[in-house]
Chain A
Amino acid sequence: MSPLERRCRLLLRAYPAAYRRDRGEEILGTLLEATPAGRSWPRLRDVRSLATAGLRERAAQNRRLTTAANARTAALIGVVAYLGLLAGEYLSTVARSELDFRGAMPLSWAELALLGFFAASAALAWASRRRVLVLAGVAPAAAIVCLATPWSTFGWWQAVPVLVCLAALLVLAGGAQRPSRRWLWPVGIICAAPFLGDLRGIGGRAVDGRALSAELVLAVVVVCIAWIAVDARPAIAAAVFLLLVAMTIFGFSFGGPPQVAFLAVVCVLVSMALWRLRRQSAHRGGGTGATAA
């Protein structure tokens, strides 16, 4: 494969995967023919037009589904990302304490079971259309949160976001639309981010792993929000995720100026995202088929 073809293929990634499967090779052939001989990069106007057309095509994907279906998918992703962050925090804390040899802090049976039920509920809400299956994961997880309460050392309010998430998984499960696999990227990064907390240095330079971990999560959130013009769903997912994180951090003391400012920012974000989503989605009555959203 020539450097030109490799760069052209990279450029085609602006288009959604389904479009690339159908038209990618044809567009690539035209692009290679249209590029003057001897060049190792496509022409600037081709780069610009393919990037614009690809992003427009991505935005058009939402038009198969209604606003409600798209918002539901986005909220599910936000909830799954939050549960993934919690699971990542748990596991990284255990891994760190074992690595430091400061006495093992293995997961208790309750924590282990809770993580298992988190994973099962999230996976079933993502992949299955049967609410009863999701309930099989959600009900034991909720029981563990309430009874075995691994949260007791941090304060009872920390159980509330988890219970909210589990209830949300149950409500959001089912329906014809399932999130597509491309959503696994941001969710996976958020799940893996807490493990950066173990970093002490890179290439001999001291690194604050905890700060790096938080910055990575923040970067994913910022990219999701910046994507609003193309697809508003990541921004809605980011808003749900931020609200749940804020509930964990602030508890129910939302009266202070920082909390009020935070809530105002999230409200503006949700309003903008929903406004964009309405314009990007199909009108009521469309998109009833089982699709990957």
Chain B
Amino acid sequence: MREPTYFVLASLLEGPLHGYAIIKRAEEMSGGRVRLATGTLYTALDRLAGDGYVRLVSEELVAGRIRRSYGLTDDGAAALRAEAQRMAEAARLVTGEVAASGAGRFGRKARTA
């Protein structure tokens, strides 16, 4: 999972958000590192909706324009948790904590190497 996709999903953890709110939330969560461009956001949303990770929650009319809010599906939440787990294991491999716990696929690879 690419970083912008990860942060789009993560921004929806606390509830449904509309496009601009997702951009702001992703920027906040990443400490300003992930600044989603509008085209990137909608490409990611289309793909995530196609994969069943994100769903349309509500539509409202704001200043004459349609505003759609998107929410995380159960599959999306599971994919996000799996990705977070994978990154945490990868991080522990470097920080050395994996040797102490003796678990995880990165740890097993480290021991056999």
Chain B 12-52, CB-CB to A under 8 Å as 1, else 0, gives 00000011100100000000000101111111000000000
**A51 CB contacts on chain B under 8 angstroms:** 39
- Measured as residues with beta carbon below 8 angstroms from the partner, the interface class of chain A is 20 to 34
**A50 CB contacts on chain B under 8 angstroms:** 37-39
| B67 in the interface (beta carbon within 8 A) | yes
| A30 near B19: Cβ-Cβ < 8 Å | yes
| A52 near B39: Cβ-Cβ < 8 Å | yes
| B38 near A31: Cβ-Cβ < 8 Å | yes
Task: Please give me the residue from chain B that is nearest to A14 by CB atom.
Answer: B39
- Measured as residues with beta carbon below 8 angstroms from the partner, the interface class of chain B is 10 to 19
| A30 near B39: Cβ-Cβ < 8 Å | no
| B19 near A26: Cβ-Cβ < 8 Å | yes
Q: Assess A29 versus B42: contact at CB under 8 Å? Given A34-B20, A45-B37, A48-B37.
A: no
| B68 in the interface (beta carbon within 8 A) | yes
| B38 near A23: Cβ-Cβ < 8 Å | no
Task: Please give me the residue from chain B that is nearest to A54 by CB atom.
Answer: B39
| B40 near A53: Cβ-Cβ < 8 Å | yes
| B37 near A30: Cβ-Cβ < 8 Å | no
Q: Assess A26 versus B38: contact at CB under 8 Å? Given A34-B23, A56-B43.
A: no
**A215 CB contacts on chain B under 8 angstroms:** none
| A49 near B19: Cβ-Cβ < 8 Å | no
| B43 near A53: Cβ-Cβ < 8 Å | yes
- In the complex, A25→B41 CA distance in Å? 15
A107 to chain B, nearest CB (A): 51
Q: Assess A49 versus B38: contact at CB under 8 Å? Given A27-B19, A33-B20, A34-B20.
A: yes
With beta carbons under 8 angstroms apart, the residue of B19, B35, B37, B40 that contacts A29 is B19
**B38 CB contacts on chain A under 8 angstroms:** 27, 30-31, 34, 42, 46, 49-50
Interface residues of A (CB under 8 A from B): 23, 25-31, 33-34, 42-43, 45-46, 48-54, 56
20 contacts between A and B (CB under 8 A): A25-B65, A25-B66, A26-B67, A27-B19, A27-B38, A29-B19, A30-B19, A30-B38, A30-B41, A33-B19, A34-B20, A34-B23, A42-B38, A45-B35, A46-B37, A49-B37, A49-B40, A50-B37, A50-B38, A51-B39
Shortest Cβ-Cβ A-B pairs, 3 listed? A49-B39, A49-B37, A30-B19
Interface residues of B (CB under 8 A from A): 18-20, 23, 35, 37-43, 62-63, 65-68
